[in-house]
Amino acid sequence: MTAVRSHTTGPTAKRSIAGIRIVACEDQPVMREYIVSGLARLGITSAGVCDGVELATYLAEHPVDVVILDIGLPGEDGYSIATRLRRERPHLGIVMLTARDKTDDRVLGLDCGADLYFAKPVDIRELASALGSLYRRLRLHQPATPRPCWQLEPLRSVLLTPSGAEVALTDNELRFLVPLLEQPGTVVDRDRLFQALDQVPDIYAMRRMETLLSRLRTKVLSVSPSEPLPVRARHGRGYAFLCEAKEHQGQAFQ
């Protein structure tokens, strides 16, 4: 693969668009280098590829915010690539940069999914400014990334840690956790937990529940040592799950 990477250097890096990830798909080496090195001089790091095949490989291996796309590419042309990318990656920014400057070409490019359309030659400063504006607009409309949390899947008898590690649960461990994760942060009284475990509320049931919790803590740490089970005892009252959590829909018990 002939990807070319640029590097931000010098005082112009202060004007960089923090975090933006760009790849330019351009089959002419001189033009590809002009884009990549020109953006680098303005503090924007980018990569360059020469056709749709290399672009697909790059996108599969790297996170990208904006693709700069030529139309007259070998193999799959820019119109087809833009149509496919817009369908597969609705939040990806697409900028067409091509020698085709007729109105019909512009309309077709925009209809295929391009956010912006530039005719060659282009002033690299204007291109950089447009990329920054597009990037800021895209970020405003991107869906919020959900915060990682503990998840209980009753139908699979599995507890998922925030990092995604799976903890297989016994029947009683699942019965114990269900009431706790229904209301994270709220103390669940012992009688309700005894009822969930189908046990008579006496001193022996309390000891069995403490043993169950101790073993469950050990099990979680054996799967994910950096994520201790956030269940805390509240003296004389019960237990609470002191972390953000959710329970997947589906009833484990009737």
Q: Which of 107, 92, 98 is nearest to 137 (CA)?
A: 92
Residues 111-155 pLDDT 10s = 999 999 999 989 999 999 999 999 888 877 665 556 678 999 998
Average pLDDT over residues 206-232: 92
Per-residue pLDDT at 185:
86
Count of all residues that appear for the chain in the document: 254
Distance CA 187, CA 198 (A): 19
Query: Residue 224: pLDDT above 60?
Result: yes
- Confidence band (pLDDT; 50, 70, 90) for 7? very low
- Work out the number of other CB atoms within 10 angstroms of the CB of residue 69: 28
Residues 22-81 pLDDT 10s = 999 999 999 999 999 999 998 888 999 999 999 999 988 888 999 999 999 999 999 999
Domains of the chain with CATH codes: 4-141 (3.40.50.2300), 150-247 (1.10.10.10)
- Confidence band (pLDDT; 50, 70, 90) for 234? confident
Angle between helix 203-223 and 171-182 (nearest 10): 90
Average pLDDT over residues 237-246: 84
Q: pTM score, two decimals?
A: 0.54
Average pLDDT over residues 85-108: 91
Distance CA 24, CA 69 (A): 6
Backbone angles phi, psi at 25, to 5 degrees: -100, 100
